[in-house]
Structure 1
């Protein structure tokens, strides 16, 4: 060993020294292996010692095993129940309309009329979510809403998820009624479907974003990007002259759903929501729909 040689690494295992010596040679730092009793050593020329230490430090950092990814968050139980109640509400409303239940015109009572909402009939932002113009409209919202609501319920719990979906959808209807044309009229759960999509996408994105950097999963923007793509693909309609797709309501539902999802994923709010019983949140959401229809019927009979 040359007199000017300097030790830069030692180990009880020859393989460790071989590995580091080869690495140093590969980056242009000549090295040699020696032995001192039970230890193996890596030597370099004194002039190369500083560079060797730098390469070894970087090598150790890159070779350090990464912490394991955190386990997937446990799915909330009974997510199917929220989706089942959503389907029952839509089916019940469709059945009542199909059977001519009651003496009153449900669309006249409950559709989203900009003029009527602006005149004080605020309950329409809820009742309009349960009305559908045709079977295709109904079946599309029934299937998509049940699936997205079930997925959201698995993350947030069925009661919290559907309460947030309803808040976002009703808020979107209110925005459209108040700031859109007064003569505008619409109905359907599509706004709730896109609110569920926005809620789920933003919650997943925000949940990944709030994890410690070393354990963030790759592609954390994927849920949000996928949600925006689906909004554009499903929510924009066909562009045909007879297309009744309500793009403004869809976009507003997605945006408010995304806002609710992003807020719900914040650590402080998430901890607070854990203390809210799922049955209570779900009952409030369902009660809001029932109360809105009761108020609509009551006001129509009074007038």
Structure 2
């Protein structure tokens, strides 16, 4: 059957569009000219108009907002909403520093029912240096993760993974300690980025080598960034692991689900921030 080509700007766009067309029952093949760096989709001529209409609807539904910018030289995007997270970190530190004992993570208090400490501790820092390190690194990693998966989905995943890392750590080490800092959230964002290539499995299991390479690169970055003796390496490792797990799930979700799930993610992120602090304020 004769086919016609639909041009795509990048490999990622070609892969995304091929999923859209496959979901509509349209036969599609991806073509690539390495010399000309051109990507295209080949579809049967009778399905051409239907394919173009499906792609148009997909682009309208997934149109990013102006804060989502492409990173030069890559297929990643930076989501400027990550700076709102940085602003809140700085605002809380200016308001309370590390002097809010009812919000720190203390294992015995959490076991006694004060579960919200697992969340609120991720917003507190010991000193300006601690804050600056997490704010700068977190702005980059969280911004890229939000650009990859969507602001709401990545934000919710990172916040929940960071809180989960705090909650699980006392079950591994049994001594009492005081924990605070956003490093678990930052490492979760790194985990989300590490897992992004898993999306290639939606197209072919032959991508396993590429995916494993990405996991190894992300793990190397974790060893460089998350294993400082001055930090809580266990919480860092748990945040990174939970971030990878969340990233695998998000990467394998059908692209057509993203707009609705992203809206749900924003709601979850808001609840994961506001509800725990409501318990702190309530006393």
Within 2, Cα distance between the matches of 1:221 and 1:75?
31
5+ residue gaps, structure 2 = 1-29, 34-38, 41-58, 69-78
Pairwise mapping of residues 51-200 of structure 1 onto structure 2 (< 5 A)? Answer: 67-68=31-32, 76-77=64-65, 78-79=67-68, 80-98=79-97, 105-106=99-100, 108-200=101-193
Within 2, Cα distance between the matches of 1:109 and 1:83?
26
* Aligned counterpart in structure 2 of residue 272 of structure 1, from 244, 247, 257: 257
1:230 aligns with 2:221: yes
Within 1, Cα distance between the matches of 2:221 and 2:167?
23
**Displacement of 1:205:** 2.4
**Displacement of 1:117:** 0.7
**Displacement of 1:293:** 1.3
TM-score normalised by structure 1 residue count? 0.65
Aligned to 2:249: 263
Within 2, Cα distance between the matches of 1:75 and 1:172?
33
Aligned to 1:43: none
Within 1, Cα distance between the matches of 2:92 and 2:144?
24
5+ residue gaps, structure 1 = 1-65
Within 2, Cα distance between the matches of 1:291 and 1:267?
28
**Displacement of 1:213:** 5.8
Cα deviation digits, residues 35-94 of structure 1 (max 9, x gap): xxxxxxxxxxxxxxxxxxxxxxxxxxxxxxx932868x9995434342021111101111
Pairwise mapping of residues 279-298 of structure 1 onto structure 2 (< 5 A)? Answer: 280-298=264-282
* Aligned counterpart in structure 1 of residue 232 of structure 2, from 225, 246, 257: 246
| Greater Cα shift, 146-155 or 180-189 | 180-189
Q: Aligned-residue CA RMSD in angstroms? A: 2.7
Q: Decide whether aligned partners of structure 1 residues 198 and 75 sit closer, same or farther in structure 2, where only a CA change above 3 A counts.
A: farther
Within 1, Cα distance between the matches of 2:125 and 2:175?
20
**Displacement of 1:236:** 1.1
Within 1, Cα distance between the matches of 2:218 and 2:64?
22
**Displacement of 1:271:** 4.1
1:201 aligns with 2:201: no
Q: Larger Cα Rg: Structure 1 or Structure 2?
A: 1
Cα deviation digits, residues 281-300 of structure 1 (max 9, x gap): 224313321221120221x3
